[in-house]
Amino acid sequence: MIVSSSYHMALSASSEFSDHPATGDTSQPVDPFSTRMVQAFINAMEAKSPYLRGHSQRVAAVAATIATELGLTDEAVEGVRLAGQLHDVGKIGVREAVLDKPGRLTAEEFAHVKEHVLIGLKILSPLTYLGPVLEYIAHHHERVDGSGYPSGLSGDALSLGGRILGAADALDALTSPRAYRHALSLEDALAFLASLGPRGICPVVLPAVQRVVHNGQVLVFLGDA
């Protein structure tokens, strides 16, 4: 695995500033300082590429909107929102040349990009009070048909928070410009994801995504992409 020095700094810092032992007690309160520290690394990561700027905040806002539409509790909505803010911290370990490549990725380059999920979990793992937030992050690139990564999970093995986060992440990615393509409209992005079936948005989550898009509830967030 080839990662940048920024990744090693993030990993060291998250270990140093974790104020809680690794007990797995998810009832522990979130430490605002540690979470802000990780957010600072996300800002540094997003500064690596103009195509990533603001992505984490937009995904967090859209994911929370979808979670609210699905009727999740306030606590669960905030967990999904926090997962959205932190979900891409592992991209601090992805090479800039790969992030900004204007053409199709090679198999090796795509494998390198996929490592960002496990890199992010390693950075965040000392922050044990994040509890289910870590699971949502771990699952945001998994798909209910087993076609996702990093673990190829399927069906009920995927957390609802992870499915929501994956939908918000995909929607923002498609409606944001990239080095290799122009941004899609919100309607075209949603239609494309729906056409993929379970490889796109989880069928349980899709109706809620369609409602918030059609009601204009996410336009205020994705319009800033």
* Selection from 7-11, 24-28, 94-98 with the highest mean pLDDT: 94-98
Catalytic: 91? Answer: yes
Q: Closest Cα partner for 89 from 157, 152, 39, 138?
A: 39
Q: Closest Cα partner for 198 from 155, 164, 161?
A: 155
State mean pLDDT over 147-156: 96
Q: Which domains does the chain have, with CATH numbers?
A: 5-12+31-222 (1.10.3210.10)
In this structure, what are the phi and psi dihedrals at residue 145, rounded to the nearest 5 degrees? -90, 5
pLDDT at 1: 47
CA distances from residue 155 to 83, 111, 135, 145, 199 in whole angstroms, order as listed: 20, 23, 15, 7, 12
pLDDT at 132: 95
pLDDT tens-digit map of 87-96 = 999 998 999 8
Q: Residues of the chain with pLDDT > 70: what percent?
A: 82
Q: What angle do CA 46, 99, 147 make, to 5 degrees?
A: 105
* Buried/exposed 150-174: b ≥16 CB within 10 Å, e otherwise: eeebeeeebbbbbbbbbbbbbbbbb
pLDDT tens-digit map of 56-102 = 999 999 999 999 999 999 999 999 999 999 999 999 899 989 988 88
pLDDT tens-digit map of 166-212 = 999 999 999 988 777 889 999 999 999 999 999 999 999 999 999 99
Q: Which residues lie below 8 Å from residue 220, measured CB to CB, with a gap of 6+?
A: none
pLDDT at 99: 87
Query: Which of 48, 91, 101, 114 is an active site residue?
Result: 91
pLDDT at 25: 40
Q: List alpha helices for 87-149, DSSP H.
A: 96-99, 107-114, 116-124, 132-139
Which two three-digit tokens encode residue 207? 């109706």
Task: Identify the residue with better confidence: 102 or 33.
Answer: 102
pLDDT at 26: 41
Residue 21 has pLDDT above 70, yes or no: no
The position carrying tokens 């939908």 is 167
CA count, 13 A, side-chain hemisphere, 84: 31
pTM score: 0.83
State mean pLDDT over 130-141: 96
Arithmetic mean of pLDDT over the chain = 84
- DSSP per residue over 30-58, as a string? P-HHHHHHHHHHHHHHHHT-TTTTTHHHH
pLDDT at 28: 53
**C-beta atoms surrounding 74 within 10 Å:** 9
pLDDT at 4: 54
